[in-house]
Structure 1
Amino acid sequence: MRGSRSIWFVLYLAFLIVSFKVFQLCLFPDSKVVTWARSQYWQQILATSSRGIITDRNDVTLALSVPKWSLFVDPAFWEASQLPVLSRYLPKGVTDKLKRPLEGRFIWLVRKLSLSEGEKVLSLKLKGIYGIKEMERSYPFGRHMAHLLGFVDIDEKGLAGVEKQWDVFIYTPPEIKTLVRDAAGNLFEMASTLSGEEAVLPKSKVTLTIDWRLQYIVDNALQNGATENGAEWAAAVCMNPITGEVLAMSSYPPYDPENRSTFAGERLRNNVTGRVYEPGSVLKPIMMGIAMESGYVTSGSVFRCGGSIRIADHTIREVGGRAHGTEDIYKIIINSCNVGMAQIGMMMPVNFTYNALRSWGFGVPTGIELPGEEDGLLPLPSQWWGVVPANIALGQGIAVTPIQLAQAFSAIANGGVLVRPYLTKAVFDGNGEEVYYGQRREVARVLSPQTAKMMRTALRRAVVEGTGKRADVEAVKVAGKTGTAQVAHRGQYLKDVHVASFAGFWPYDNPNYVLVIVLGNPREKGYMAGAIAAPIFKSIVEEMISTGLELNN
C-alpha cells in the first residue's frame, strides 16, 4: 500500500517538472528558436480568378481570362543594392516604391504582368521579390468591342458594358492563397482555395446576339468615317428588325479595354445607349406614320410649301429657302420638307402626339441589357406651346438615343410592331445552368401593315430621289432618311454645332437589317447628313454584301 503511494508521488512529481519546463519554454524560449521562428513567415492573400467567358452568336470568344504574374516584395529579405538590376525590367513608377522605407512583410510591387515579363524578373532570383499567378481579363478584338463588352477593375469586377450587366453570374470570387517562407526566404504556396468555394474553372458564360464579322465591318466604317469627318463623337447600331437582336454596336471615340491610359473623358461613353441628341429630320417618317395611322393625314393629303411658314412668333424655313410647291406625303419625306411637316405637327393634339411618341419608345429606355442607358427627352404636353408641336414634327425639341431610333425604324421595317432590342442570347451561371434567355418581345403595334408599307416606299424613294442618294447601293434596294440637326445649349441653338444621322434598312420591301449612323459635331467635310452619314451607311451595306455576310444572318 505504501509502495503504490510512492509510485503515484513520483509520477505526480514528474508531471509537475514536465509542465514547468513546457511553461518555461513557452514564456522564455531559447533565443535560437526565437530567431528561427521569426524567419518563418506566412501570409494569406487574395488572387483574382477566372471570369466566365463572353462569346458572340457564333460562339466566337470575345472576352476571357488569361494567367498573369503579379509580383510582391518582402521587406525582410529585400536588399536595396538589387534596385539597379530590377530597374532594367520594370517601369520607373514601379521601382520607385522600393526607394522609400518599407514596412510589414508583404507589399504589392506590380500586378498582372505578362507571363514572359514576369518570368524574366523572377529568373533574376532577387532576394525578397516573389510572384504569384493571377487571372486577368483579355479582349481578343480590342477596341472593336470595347464599348459593348466594357471592362473590369484590377480585381476582375465588372465596371461597364456586358461585363457589368452580367457580373453577378460571370464573376468568380478570388482565390485565397497561403504563402509560407523558410528561413532562407524561399517561398512556398501551401494552399489555394476559393473564398468558401471549390477552386474550379467557372462554367459561367454569356452569349451575345452580336456577329463579330458584322461588328468588325461596322466598327471600322464608323471609326474611319468619324475620323475623316472630324466628328467629336459617333455611334452606329445594326439590328434585326423582326427579332430585335442587336447584331453590331459601335461608338467613337474608341478606347482599349486592356490599356487604362486610354480611359479618358468621353471615350468610355457608349454613344449608342448613353448619348442623347435631337434627331432632326430622321424623325419625320415616324411623325408621318403617327399622323397617317391616326387619320390626320391620308394617302391623298396634299400640302403647300412656299419655302417658309409662320407659326406663332417663329418662322420655319426650308434649307436654302427652297419652295417645294404642292406635295403629297411621299414628297414631304423625299424632300425632307420642313414646311409640310410643320403643318402636320400642328394638326394633331399635343396630348395625342405625346402619347404616340411614348408608344414608339421615345422618352423611355428600351430596356436593352446594358448599364447606363439614357431615357432620352420628351417634354410633357404642358410644355408644348406655340411653335413646339411643329418643331417636334421636325425632330427638334425632342432628344433620342441611337438605340431608340433603331427600335423605331425597326417598327417601320417589320410591318408596324415595336420590338425591344436585345443584346444577350443566353447567360449561364457558374454551375452551367441557364439563367437568362433572350428572345423577341413585342412592345406595341404602332403602325398597321399598310401604313408601314407606305412609309417603306417613301423611305426608298428618299434614297433614290431625295436627300439619301449617297446611301444607295446597287446590289440591294435600301431605304432610309437623313437627319441634320443643330445642337441646343441653354435654350439656344449653337450656330456651328450639328448632329448628322442616317437611319435605314434593307431590302426595303422585306427588311432583314436596320442600321443607324450618327456623327456628332463633324467639322472636316461639312455637316449635312446626306454628304457624310449616308456614305458610311452605304459602305457598310456594300461590304456586308461583298463578303457574303449579308446572306448569312
Structure 2
Amino acid sequence: MKVFRRISDKIKAMRKRPFKRYMRYKLALLFFIVTLALFVLLIIISNLSKNEDRYSVKVLSQRNYSSSVLVAKRGNILDRNHTLLAASEQTYILILDPKVIYTEQEFAEGEGDNKVKVSKQPYLEPTINALVENLGLDRESVMEQLEGKKDKSYLRLKTNGAKTVLTYDQKTAFDAFCEEMNKEYADVKKEENINKTAFEKAQRIKGVWFETEYRRVYPYNSAACSVLGFTTGDGSTGLWGLESYYNKELAGVNGREYGYVNEDFDLVRQVEKPQDGSQLVSTLDLNMQNICQKHIDEFMETYTGKVFDEEGNMKDQPAGEEQTPGAENIGVLVMNPNNGEVLAMATNSTYDLNHPNDILKEKYTAEELSSMDNETQLEKLNQIWRNFCISDTFEPGSTAKPLTISAALEEGAVKEDETFTCDGFEMVAGWRIKCHVFPDYHGELDLSGALEESCNDSLMQIVKKLGAPAFAKYQRLFGLNRRTGIDLPGEAAGILYQEEKLKDAELATGSFGQGFTVTMVELASAISSAINGGYYYQPHLVKQVLDSKGAVIDNKESVPVSRVVSEETSKFIREALYQTVNQGTGGVAKIDGYKIGGKTGTAEKLPRGNGKYVISFISFAPADNPELLLYVVIDTPNVNNPNSSEKAQLVAKAIWEELLPYANIYSSEAEDENKPEGDGQEQWQGQGIMDQEDPNAQPVENATAESAETQPMIEMPEENPTELPGEE
C-alpha cells in the first residue's frame, strides 16, 4: 500500500509542474508539419482523381480507334526494254464513320410560346444522298450497314459483299461533289437559303473518308500470262509465275499507323512508313512474245473444229459436235543460247491476268459451271494456268539426236568423217528397230548426214560405240536428269533410265529420243549448250532487280554452270544442223537468205498405236554464230499428217520471218537459185513404218520430212525377233 501511495504522490506532483517553453515549441512545430503533410496529401489525391478522369477519357477514346495498315506498293514487272508488264494502281477504299454521320444536335422549332428544342441528325441524309447519287450505291444496303454500327467510328462499306473500291477519278469526283454541296449548305446569304431552318442550314456531308490500297493491273491483259502469273485480289501475294517466284522482292513491307497514350496522357498517332517493293526487269521481249503468241493463235484458229477426209482435205466439223482443238498444247520458247535468257515463252492456254478466274466462263456454260464444286473448278483453272513450257514432259524424239552425236564426238567414239550404213533397221537384242524411212533406207551416210537425214539406224550404230555409261553421263551433263532451276514455280523434270537399266534396246532407242522424257526448257537449254561453244547456262527470266526508285540493287549475271562439250564439237553440230535445214529433213523451215540451223522431232504418245503425236522443231540463227534459239512443240495436232514435223516447221518458219528482222539479224547468204520445187514434204506424207520389208526398197536421198511410229519399251521376248518401229 505504501508503494502505491508514493506513486500517486509523484503523479500529482508532475501535474502541478508546468511544461517547459522549449517543449511547447516542439509540439507546435510537430502539429504544423502534420497539418502541412495532410494538406499536400489532399492536393495529390485531388490531382490523381482529375488525371484519372483524363486517362479514362483518352483510353476510352481509343476503344473506337483502330490501328491501320499502310499497304506497301508492289513492285512493277518490266520487259527487257522497260515496257511495263505488271504494275500496282492506287485505289481508294470507302470508309464511313457512323458515329459522326449519326451526330445529333438540338434545334429550336416553332415560334413564340410553342418554340421547342428538337434533337436531329443534320449529317445523315446529305451523306446518304451523296453516296447514292454520286457513287451509285444502294440506299437500303448503306442504311442497313450503318444501322448496325451506330456507335462505331470505322466501317468499311461493302458493295455486293466486298469492300467498295474506287479509282482515283471516282474518288476525286466524289470529293469535289462533297465540297460543292457543303459550300451550298453553308452559304446562308444565298437568297434560296435565307428562309431555311436552322436544321437545314446545319446539314453537311460528313463522316466519309478513304483508305489507300493498291490493285494489281496488267496493261497487256493476257500477254505472257503463263510467265507473269497473277496475285491475290488485293495484290499483296503472288499466286503464279514471276509474281509468285519473286513475291518477297515484289511485295515490300507494309507500314502501320497506330495510336498510344504518352506520359502526359495525350493520344499520340504514330506512323511507320511502308517500304515499297522492288521492281523486276525481266529477260522477256514483249514484241517477241507477241510474235510467238500470234502464230500460236493462228494455228489454233486454223485447225480447231476441223476434220480431214481420206484425201487429206480439211473440212469443218458437223454442226452440233464438240469442236476438236487445233492441238492439245502448243509451246513456243525463244532463248539467247549464249546466256540462258528467255526472250519469249508462249502457249496456247491464255487468259486475262486482270481477271484470271473468268476464263472458266469462256470455256464452260453456266449450267456446266453450276454442276462443278469448288475443287473441280480450281482443278480446271490450274490446268489452264499451267505453263506447258516448263510443267509438261514428253519424249523429245529426234530433237535429241544432236546430243547423242555431241557425246560420241567428245568421247572419241566416232570421228567427223566416219560413215555409217543404213539398211532401214538394226537388230538389237532380238528386236528389229526401224529407221523412220523403213522399208526404204538411207544407204551410206557420214556423221553430218546422219543428222541431216535424221537416220535412226546410224544413231543406233553411234550409241553402240559410245556405250551406256558415257550416254548416261552426257544426259546428266546436258541437264536432262533434273530441273533446270528456271525462276518460275511449277517446273517439272524429265525421266531418264538409270545407267544400270540402260540395256541394249533402251540404249538404241534412247539414241534417237525415245524412252525418256524432257520439258521444253530442259531440251532448249541442252541444245543451247551444244551450239554455243559447249557451255551450259541456267535458263532464267529476270535480268535485274531495281528498288522502287529505279536504282539497280541486283544484276542477275549469266554465269555458265558447266562446260559440256568443246568448241570443236559445237562447231560441227552447228554446221550439221545448218545442213539439216538447208538440204535435209528441216527444209520446210528454210528461209532464203538466212542461215538457220535446226532439228525436227516426232514422238508418238503413250499408249503406242493411238495415233497421237508430239511434233517439234528446234532451230537457231544465225547458224554459224547463234544469237537466238527457237523451239516449237505441238502436242497432238489436229492435222491430216499428225506424225510429221511439217506443221511445227511451218510455225517456226512464220515466227522466224518476223523475228529475224526485229532482232536485227540480216540476210547472210544469197537466195538459193537452185532450190528444188516444193518443200519435199509431199513425197513422204502418209508413208508409215511398215511391218514387212519391201524387196524393192531403194536408198532415200535428201528427204526433207519424216513420219514415225514408236512402241512402248516392253520386256524382250525369249524367242523370235520382234520389231520395234523407229521414231523420228
Matched, 1:161 2:184: no
For residues 438-489 of structure 1, give each alpha carbon's deviation from its aligned partner in whole angstroms, at most 9, with x where no partner exists: 223223333333332222222122223333222111241211011111223x
Of 332, 335, 339, which residue of structure 2 is paired with 1:243? 339
Secondary structure at 2:223's aligned position in 1? helix
- Are the equivalent residues in 2 in contact too, given 1:293–1:448 (CA < 8 A)? yes
Structure 1 residues 422-433: aligned runs within 5 Å:
422-429=540-547
Matched, 1:413 2:510: no
Matched, 1:257 2:372: no
> Which consecutive unaligned segments of at least 5 residues does structure 1 have?
180-189
Q: Distance in 2 between matches of 1:337 and 1:91?
A: 71
Q: Distance in 2 between matches of 1:547 and 1:279?
A: 29
Q: Distance in 2 between matches of 1:462 and 1:98?
A: 74
Of 368, 387, 404, which residue of structure 2 is paired with 1:287? 404
Matched, 1:448 2:578: no
Residue 392 of structure 1: aligned partner:
510
Matched, 1:54 2:172: no
- CA gap of 1:256–1:16, structure 2 versus 1, over 3 A, is same
Residue 487 of structure 2: aligned partner:
369
In the TM superposition, residue 99 of structure 1 has moved relative to its aligned partner by 9.1
Secondary structure at 1:143's aligned position in 2? coil
Residue 138 of structure 1: aligned partner:
217
- Are the equivalent residues in 1 in contact too, given 2:216–2:235 (CA < 8 A)? no
Farther off after superposition, 427-436 or 355-364: 427-436
Residue 215 of structure 1: aligned partner:
289
- Are the equivalent residues in 2 in contact too, given 1:170–1:429 (CA < 8 A)? no
- CA gap of 1:200–1:442, structure 2 versus 1, over 3 A, is closer
Structure 1 residues 81-230: aligned runs within 5 Å:
106=155, 109=158, 110=163, 112=165, 114-116=167-169, 131-153=210-232, 154-177=234-257, 193-194=271-272, 198-199=273-274, 201=276, 204-229=278-303, 230=326
- Are the equivalent residues in 2 in contact too, given 1:48–1:136 (CA < 8 A)? no
Q: Distance in 1 between matches of 2:88 and 2:327?
A: 34
Farther off after superposition, 120-129 or 346-355: 120-129
In the TM superposition, residue 288 of structure 1 has moved relative to its aligned partner by 1.9
Secondary structure at 2:605's aligned position in 1? strand
Residue 619 of structure 2: aligned partner:
504
- Are the equivalent residues in 2 in contact too, given 1:70–1:112 (CA < 8 A)? yes
Q: Which amino acid aligns with 2:330?
A: A
In the TM superposition, residue 516 of structure 1 has moved relative to its aligned partner by 0.8
Q: Distance in 2 between matches of 1:265 and 1:98?
A: 39
- Are the equivalent residues in 2 in contact too, given 1:71–1:111 (CA < 8 A)? yes
Q: Distance in 2 between matches of 1:240 and 1:278?
A: 23
Secondary structure at 1:387's aligned position in 2? helix
- Are the equivalent residues in 1 in contact too, given 2:389–2:519 (CA < 8 A)? yes
In the TM superposition, residue 282 of structure 1 has moved relative to its aligned partner by 0.8
- CA gap of 1:443–1:483, structure 2 versus 1, over 3 A, is same
Residue 185 of structure 1: aligned partner:
none
In the TM superposition, residue 502 of structure 1 has moved relative to its aligned partner by 0.8
Q: Distance in 1 between matches of 2:598 and 2:45?
A: 98
Residue 513 of structure 1: aligned partner:
628
Residue 481 of structure 1: aligned partner:
599
Q: Distance in 1 between matches of 2:144 and 2:347?
A: 41
Q: Distance in 1 between matches of 2:54 and 2:580?
A: 95
- Are the equivalent residues in 2 in contact too, given 1:48–1:155 (CA < 8 A)? no
- Are the equivalent residues in 1 in contact too, given 2:92–2:166 (CA < 8 A)? yes
Q: Distance in 1 between matches of 2:549 and 2:169?
A: 33
In the TM superposition, residue 19 of structure 1 has moved relative to its aligned partner by 5.9
Greater strand proportion: 1
Q: Distance in 2 between matches of 1:91 and 1:66?
A: 23
Q: Distance in 1 between matches of 2:593 and 2:567?
A: 26
In the TM superposition, residue 23 of structure 1 has moved relative to its aligned partner by 6.9
- Are the equivalent residues in 2 in contact too, given 1:486–1:497 (CA < 8 A)? yes
In the TM superposition, residue 175 of structure 1 has moved relative to its aligned partner by 3.7
- CA gap of 1:296–1:173, structure 2 versus 1, over 3 A, is same
Q: Distance in 1 between matches of 2:284 and 2:222?
A: 15
Residue 327 of structure 2: aligned partner:
231
Matched, 1:331 2:427: no
In the TM superposition, residue 512 of structure 1 has moved relative to its aligned partner by 1.4
Farther off after superposition, 223-232 or 510-519: 223-232
Q: Distance in 1 between matches of 2:547 and 2:663?
A: 35
Q: Distance in 2 between matches of 1:337 and 1:100?
A: 78
- Are the equivalent residues in 2 in contact too, given 1:275–1:374 (CA < 8 A)? yes
- CA gap of 1:19–1:408, structure 2 versus 1, over 3 A, is closer
Farther off after superposition, 338-347 or 117-126: 117-126
Secondary structure at 1:41's aligned position in 2? coil
Residue 300 of structure 1: aligned partner:
417
Q: Which amino acid aligns with 1:172?
A: G
In the TM superposition, residue 20 of structure 1 has moved relative to its aligned partner by 6.3
In the TM superposition, residue 341 of structure 1 has moved relative to its aligned partner by 2.0
Q: Distance in 2 between matches of 1:67 and 1:431?
A: 17
- Are the equivalent residues in 2 in contact too, given 1:161–1:371 (CA < 8 A)? yes
Q: Which amino acid aligns with 1:165?
A: Y
Q: Distance in 2 between matches of 1:4 and 1:509?
A: 111
In the TM superposition, residue 47 of structure 1 has moved relative to its aligned partner by 4.8
In the TM superposition, residue 123 of structure 1 has moved relative to its aligned partner by 9.0
**TM-score when normalising by structure 2:** 0.63
Q: Distance in 2 between matches of 1:369 and 1:404?
A: 13
For residues 134-176 of structure 1, give each alpha carbon's deviation from its aligned partner in whole angstroms, at most 9, with x where no partner exists: 0122222332122222222235123332223333223212343
Q: Distance in 2 between matches of 1:294 and 1:233?
A: 37
Q: Which amino acid aligns with 2:339?
A: T
- CA gap of 1:550–1:394, structure 2 versus 1, over 3 A, is same
- CA gap of 1:291–1:120, structure 2 versus 1, over 3 A, is same
In the TM superposition, residue 359 of structure 1 has moved relative to its aligned partner by 0.8
Q: Distance in 2 between matches of 1:391 and 1:284?
A: 11
- CA gap of 1:327–1:429, structure 2 versus 1, over 3 A, is farther
> Which consecutive unaligned segments of at least 5 residues does structure 2 have?
1-27, 103-123, 179-204, 260-267, 304-325, 360-380, 667-728
Q: Which amino acid aligns with 2:630?
A: L
Q: Which amino acid aligns with 1:234?
A: I
Secondary structure at 1:133's aligned position in 2? strand
**TM-score when normalising by structure 1:** 0.81
Matched, 1:353 2:427: no
- Are the equivalent residues in 2 in contact too, given 1:463–1:472 (CA < 8 A)? yes
Q: Distance in 2 between matches of 1:337 and 1:96?
A: 75
Q: Which amino acid aligns with 1:448?
A: S
Residue 437 of structure 1: aligned partner:
555
Q: Which amino acid aligns with 1:520?
A: D
Give identity over the alignment, percent.
Answer: 26
- CA gap of 1:38–1:20, structure 2 versus 1, over 3 A, is closer
